[in-house]
Structure 1
């Protein structure tokens, strides 16, 4: 029986999503793309999960696109590449879908983080890495451009000249350097520990507030001022009606931990 390319384990309020091709350094093929998208879509409808940890089995987070495996079926590649009436194609959706989830997503990076792996990590809301992990926007090596949705968060996370340099050269940088340029959130010896410490803080807040804040901040990065203020009003009005807002307010007043209901915001 073929091993799943992606494994999802839910432990309490945390979903652990693993890339599971350790023998290929979690290189991305078409099946892995389909399974990652399916995993994200399943989590979107799970209102009890409060955070997602995205990581790779074995020695690496993700060594990029596995060209040999992915391009065996050229017709399927073409279907994945064409967006048709949709805003994104499947190569892009596998990274952008994590930003669409109404809960925080944290990438935990070790070993190789190349090409598609960098774009997948960039699609998460936070990226904790080991200091010695190797990051590279590797598409330049193959005469390509980054085309899996990563250029949008790259522009949010890094200065224009750093994005240009790393994307044009494909040079390798350490996890420590990835933090310095803004590509990663923090470099620590135990990134999973740092991720869980952040999750502890996030689950102290209303799941509706966290989800709405994520939507608000991403939407307003490229919208007009008028649209940004309109969205603020709309989401705040929604929060006023949320049962979790009432719970948060009562807990804060009583100076007690809050016992939240499942997320209602989507």
Structure 2
């Protein structure tokens, strides 16, 4: 497994688990973390045995956003990471899922703080599970900053605009229950069980046909801003080829034979 000192990577069956690993700073974003994240997204998509991705945080927190102390000084340590950013100035946006979308489903497992940049990364994930004591919010305006990780665009497309604007303009914290109530997250679970809940969802996804799963995800995102007519046409273009795959035939045979299907991405 790859990773960095601030981002750990491990396998749980067919799921790649990426863990933001800077618990002493509530997993505030560092350059080492961002490089590790981007490499993790690429690793998951390059490995056909990986069917899903879970993103979580170490030490009872998800992510407290950018490290403002490092931003104000010279705390973005690690020449090798600075070299990576110099070679690809867009790397940090790809890491935060602003300019990159993995083809595999991404499930967020949130405990504790998921604020500022944490809430921005969250908006790039597909399915979201949170512990009851998790906290969400976009605090940038409180510090005279702009939530430039995509929130002024994405948030209003994911939750009602009145809620998006309240979150963006007040910079106040939201509880997990309130976040679920406005549609920012999908499931609230007891504290300490978010990762288990996310892995349970991942296991259900992993049991499905991988070509079908990836085509469905792609169709949802590519048709989001289309008219219904254009979207339905795009859906057929994505969906019909799936029916011609060996996996589709295997799924039908397995159903008829009352056994679990064995999918081979073919």
Asked if TM exceeds 0.5, the reply is: yes
1:147 aligns with: 148
1:207 aligns with: 210
1:260 aligns with: 263
Deviations 1:77-135 (A, max 9, x none): 9x969x98xxxx44432222697212211111111111001111221111111111111
Give the secondary-structure state (helix, strand or coil) at the position aligned to 1:201: helix
For residues 124-163 of structure 1, the aligned pairs below 5 Å read: 124-163=125-164
For residues 84-103 of structure 1, the aligned pairs below 5 Å read: 89-96=90-97, 100-103=101-104
The Cα shift of 1:11 comes to 2.4
Give the secondary-structure state (helix, strand or coil) at the position aligned to 2:212: helix
Contact preservation (8 Å) 1:95, 1:150 = no
Q: 1:72 to 1:90 in 2, by over 3 A?
A: farther
Return the alpha-carbon distance in structure 2 between the equivalents of residues 141 and 131 of structure 1. Answer: 25
Return the alpha-carbon distance in structure 2 between the equivalents of residues 72 and 41 of structure 1. Answer: 30
Contact preservation (8 Å) 1:123, 1:150 = no
Q: Does 1:66 align with 2:64?
A: no
Return the alpha-carbon distance in structure 1 between the equivalents of residues 18 and 153 of structure 2. Answer: 23
The Cα shift of 1:149 comes to 2.4
Structure 1: give runs of 5+ residues left out of the alignment.
none
1:217 aligns with: 220
1:238 aligns with: 241
1:9 aligns with: 10
Return the alpha-carbon distance in structure 2 between the equivalents of residues 252 and 98 of structure 1. Answer: 39
Return the alpha-carbon distance in structure 1 between the equivalents of residues 219 and 158 of structure 2. Answer: 17
Return the alpha-carbon distance in structure 1 between the equivalents of residues 99 and 108 of structure 2. Answer: 10
- Given the two structures, how large is their TM-score scaled by the length of structure 1? 0.87
For residues 179-198 of structure 1, the aligned pairs below 5 Å read: 179-189=180-190, 190-198=193-201
Contact preservation (8 Å) 1:30, 1:70 = no
Q: 1:99 to 1:125 in 2, by over 3 A?
A: farther
Give the secondary-structure state (helix, strand or coil) at the position aligned to 2:97: helix
Q: 1:98 to 1:188 in 2, by over 3 A?
A: farther
Q: 1:119 to 1:98 in 2, by over 3 A?
A: same
Q: 1:71 to 1:207 in 2, by over 3 A?
A: farther
Deviations 1:188-241 (A, max 9, x none): 112222212222322231011111100000111112344423321221232123
Q: After the TM superposition, which of the residue ranges 5-14 and 188-197 deviates more from structure 2? A: 188-197
Deviations 1:41-79 (A, max 9, x none): 1111111111111001113111111022245459999x9
Deviations 1:147-179 (A, max 9, x none): 112344422321000000001111011111110
Give the secondary-structure state (helix, strand or coil) at the position aligned to 2:254: helix
Structure 2: give runs of 5+ residues left out of the alignment.
none
1:176 aligns with: 177
The Cα shift of 1:257 comes to 1.1
Note the aligned Cα RMSD (angstroms).
2.7
Return the alpha-carbon distance in structure 2 between the equivalents of residues 191 and 215 of structure 1. Answer: 26
